[in-house]
Structure 1
């Protein structure tokens, strides 16, 4: 009997190996590459000047331009060769830097026109104010050809001012760039990750950020994130609504002072996250910004008309506040903005196109809402994301905020339309689907920028369906042979070497659903947001656990005084 038991155990092990091998074969034709990353850095423009933004390479040969993501438009817009200017820009070189570098179609061999039948995605800009063209976009591991872009011609009715001055990566629900990447098999969902990085004055106060399409950078997150539902509304097209329960000034003496009514948080302040805006927060003058002015013993004397557009200029003849600012969100997340990301010298673009600083005009990165904007919904902008990391998934209707982790490590993870994390393979080359949103009529051609190495991958392509069918047949066949062998061995041992009297029954095997992991878990609760004497039910936040262990650096970056 012991010998029979060992034979059965050996047979089961053999069957399990066959099953594992068959599943590997079934998945061998699938491919989920890592999400697409745009570094947010101080981009060196074609004319040699510098502009911080998302680095995008356009044309052939590729030229690097400084873009800003824009969640209010669908199309991707590239300025050039002409530079629609604003009243406060006084030279061609300044306009070049202001827009993020001007595209020169004559210098690119891949500039072309879309098909006449191509219908652009609808946008809030009048159709007569821009034209369409196609170009090649180059990424780290691949390039996309014939991507349809918009060329701004007249922006006088776009109402951009300097809130959205640069080339735009349109990321609204009809995003053409996400459509092209999806058709090329490069993203599984419309999810994105965003971290502005550190954007202070000195080298120690600078750190690259990133915009990730189709997932997020897990290495840039600390601890548990907080997930809640997207709630799009007319005054918050991103749907990224948050409740601020308190904002606290952290003085160097160790004293903490709330700027909210009552000194301990008072009622919650509702706000909309708009990551591209050049501001930390738009804060109502009464009572919040007035309370801040009293606490730091300073005052507004002007507004910036430079890089930090319309942020408050403090009185430089008075002592400047040297502490930090902590946001406490209703979800439970607390984020501290270090002083060197909060108060900076005024930065502007001179007539040579260079960015200059004026230390006599200290900017606190807050837009005080007053007069005609006093009752506007406050918006939280890019400088909030010097301390926070955002992952939003419009397909799943959810977004998550973490404390940001400014480290050089990179851990890109793909997220599907259900908000689940999906394993990726950086060596695979996905097959493009027919029709990519390109205007060329043939779909955006995908070209690897380096030769992919053969390796197993993960995801579902048309070939994967056939692979899974073959794998399933092999599995069932292996289990059927195993069942026949076991019955035959048992009868041989019980009745001797006589033939079996009946056929062996067919074995069956059902694969359970594989738990790939999800960047969230639900947390019960509810709250109400108060603003402008209106009560708005807010979706309950939920806590997003870190799906892996990683080295955690201090939450707020400690910068020298």
Structure 2
């Protein structure tokens, strides 16, 4: 593992590019709220808006770093009924549903590899248990895919799942950005991007409109001015020895609460430091040892009302009166420190109502931390809210991933 400056980061990326890319601009897509049901304005899901089929059907993607293929749900969306208990809620949380009979460009293929997809899915010991069955059980399809205003292909290969393979709370359609990503390979082959690089910043939500910020997914590069300070770069490693199915394992050495008077309170003892797998589609900030939640409660003087079963499934609920108002700083063993704003790890309770509307209970807040016990042997995770304070770049050509503190800016190609 190494720490590199931004110039070194750019040189590594350019050296690894498969083709000259000075004239090829990276593709930039917002991570934003998308209305799912036309008649219900608050039927919102956050993700990457796209269109599938002819005429185009709106769907919402989330980037999955461990998947090579892209998977799109149809009218059999396999939401977990113990968590999502109506078809309308399922439709909204899945980011709308694909209808093959409504698409004149639909084509059923013999199998996903012959359709042009990846023949093997990246998977690991602790990945979603159904990934290993997706290739054999899903419906192989080719259809028109547009992401934003970009037409990816008139016959893009993807699979339609025919089993309940993911956690029911993971929600939207998985965009495969793994080491043999069909999407990245298609865009490189078409000359739309110059390298198999992708970058993500989740944005800021659940705040006033003046403070809200859409996130972004960049394919073929990164936003050079969303980064400042140290960069932490490490080799991608999907082997079972790391226990990290996304290939991105880091060591969390410190978690501090930042008190408004300038003091910090450390929540981890040296013996509590833990390895974590970066999983940007996960719905929380982190899964962590019990010391994090216990330390938060001891410092803030509050007690949990119980676990959350809303959009932030697995977090902890607290009464909204007299809430702790400080930030949280997560430090990696590399020395990189990422500061998470208070309003991005301690958020109002949010869920989807039976009619598909996004609803809030402002009398309760959710701590976006789940307890993970080491005795179960699975690695802890850093989820999407880690990228409200950090920026992630994955470079498959170089075989590396980089975590960087973010700042606003412009897009650089790699």
Paired position in structure 1 for 2:245: 237
Match of 1:309 among 310, 313, 329: 313
Match of 2:338 among 335, 339, 346: 335
Paired position in structure 2 for 1:545: none
Paired position in structure 2 for 1:200: 206
Matches within 5 A, 1:319-358: 319-358=322-361
Paired position in structure 1 for 2:279: 274
Q: Could you say which structure has the higher strand fraction?
A: 2
Aligned-residue offset at 1:31: 7.5
Q: Please tell me whether the aligned partners of residues 282 and 379 of structure 1 are also in contact (alpha carbons under 8 angstroms).
A: yes
Q: In 1, Cα distance between the equivalents of 2:53 and 2:294? A: 49
Unpaired runs of 5+ residues, structure 2, are: 1-19, 122-130
Aligned-residue offset at 1:100: 0.5
Q: In 1, Cα distance between the equivalents of 2:64 and 2:150? A: 24
Aligned-residue offset at 1:259: 0.7
Aligned-residue offset at 1:390: 0.8
Paired position in structure 1 for 2:13: none
Match of 2:102 among 107, 115, 124: 107
Q: How many residues align?
A: 375
Q: In 1, Cα distance between the equivalents of 2:76 and 2:234? A: 43
Q: Please tell me whether the aligned partners of residues 283 and 313 of structure 2 are also in contact (alpha carbons under 8 angstroms).
A: yes
Aligned-residue offset at 1:161: 2.2
Unpaired runs of 5+ residues, structure 1, are: 1-28, 416-561
Q: In 1, Cα distance between the equivalents of 2:281 and 2:221? A: 18
Aligned-residue offset at 1:224: 4.0
Q: Please tell me whether the aligned partners of residues 31 and 46 of structure 2 are also in contact (alpha carbons under 8 angstroms).
A: yes
Matches within 5 A, 1:96-245: 96-114=91-109, 117-118=114-115, 120=117, 121-123=119-121, 124-126=131-133, 127-139=135-147, 140-155=149-164, 158-162=165-169, 164-234=170-240, 235-245=243-253
Moved over 6 A (4+): none
Q: Tell whether 2:69 aligns with 1:75.
A: yes
Cα distance change on mapping 1:125 and 1:357 into 2, 3 Å: farther
Further displaced range: 124-133 or 110-119: 110-119
Paired position in structure 1 for 2:413: 414
* TM-score, normalising length: structure 2: 0.83
Q: Please tell me whether the aligned partners of residues 96 and 102 of structure 1 are also in contact (alpha carbons under 8 angstroms).
A: yes
Cα distance change on mapping 1:293 and 1:370 into 2, 3 Å: farther
Aligned-residue offset at 1:134: 1.1
Cα distance change on mapping 1:362 and 1:141 into 2, 3 Å: closer
Q: Please tell me whether the aligned partners of residues 312 and 368 of structure 1 are also in contact (alpha carbons under 8 angstroms).
A: no
Q: Please tell me whether the aligned partners of residues 38 and 56 of structure 1 are also in contact (alpha carbons under 8 angstroms).
A: no
Paired position in structure 2 for 1:531: none
Aligned-residue offset at 1:239: 1.9
RMSD (Å) for aligned C-alpha atoms: 2.4
Point out the structure with max Rg over C-alpha.
1
CA displacement, residues 175-215 of structure 1 (integer Å, 9 cap, x when unaligned) = 22122112212233322101001122432342111112222
Cα distance change on mapping 1:318 and 1:376 into 2, 3 Å: farther
Q: Please tell me whether the aligned partners of residues 205 and 341 of structure 1 are also in contact (alpha carbons under 8 angstroms).
A: no
Matches within 5 A, 1:447-526: none
Aligned-residue offset at 1:267: 6.5
Cα distance change on mapping 1:338 and 1:118 into 2, 3 Å: closer
Q: In 2, Cα distance between the equivalents of 1:379 and 1:371? A: 12
Match of 2:299 among 263, 279, 295: 295
